[in-house]
Amino acid sequence: MLPTIQTSAATFFLLFLLVGCPAALGGPKPHPHRLPCKRLVFYFHDVLYNGHNSNNATATIVGAPAWGNTTLLAGQNHFGDLVIFDDPITLDNNLRSTPVGRAQGFYLYDKKDIFTAWLGFSFVFNSTQHKGSINFAGADPLMNKTRDISVIGGTGDFFMSRGVATLMTDAFEGEVYFRLRVDIKLYECW
């Protein structure tokens, strides 16, 4: 009977390993669990420079196509406009709430027949609650209610993080202001 017990123990460990370490084994099997190890929700607020709002602006056009310029978003759904931003991050959807960090980087509009963007930016935190940065990249088909971009890395409290962030346009006022809700789900936490 003892050999049987041993075999079942062996089988148990073998199964555990195969189920538990697919990524490490480099196998083609999908990961069994998609539960975030950390989840954070923030809002950030973008006020685009238009030639008349230099005090309030948090973002500015720095590249434009031949048919555009740096104070007015271009025609053709802003195709070719490149914007650099330093936007306040808040815990709720109020632009006047105390910022908990800054969203810094760039977005660009990259389609002629519909609004679509591509983002490369970081959330930078330096408060008692969070220290460090989360780095993002990905396509933002912004006419969709929600869209996912990648968390490609992190530092400090977010050391080596990876995950997915779900973006939702929470407000949009003409071509000057928008607010994004960012639901960050980290699946690799160190």
Site for a copy of itself in 19-58 (CB under 8 A): 20-35, 37-38, 49, 51
Pair 132, 125: CB distance under 8 Å = yes
- Which residue number, 22 or 91, has a Cβ lying nearer to a copy of itself? 22
Interface with a copy of itself in residues 66-105 (CB under 8 A): 66, 69-71, 79-82, 84-86, 102, 104-105
Rounded to the nearest whole angstrom, what is the least distance from the CB of residue 110 to a copy of itself in the complex? Answer: 5
Across 117-138, b (16+ Cβ under 10 Å) vs e yields bbbebbbbbeeeebebbbbbeb
Pair 2, 10: CB distance under 8 Å = no
Interface with a copy of itself in residues 111-150 (CB under 8 A): 111-112, 116, 118, 120-122, 124, 132-133, 135, 137-139, 141, 148-150
Q: Is 156 exposed, middle or buried (0-12, 13-18, 19+ CB in 10 A)?
A: middle
Rounded to the nearest whole angstrom, what is the least distance from the CB of residue 64 to a copy of itself in the complex? Answer: 6
Rounded to the nearest whole angstrom, what is the least distance from the CB of residue 59 to a copy of itself in the complex? Answer: 9
**How is residue 106 written in tokens?**
């760039």
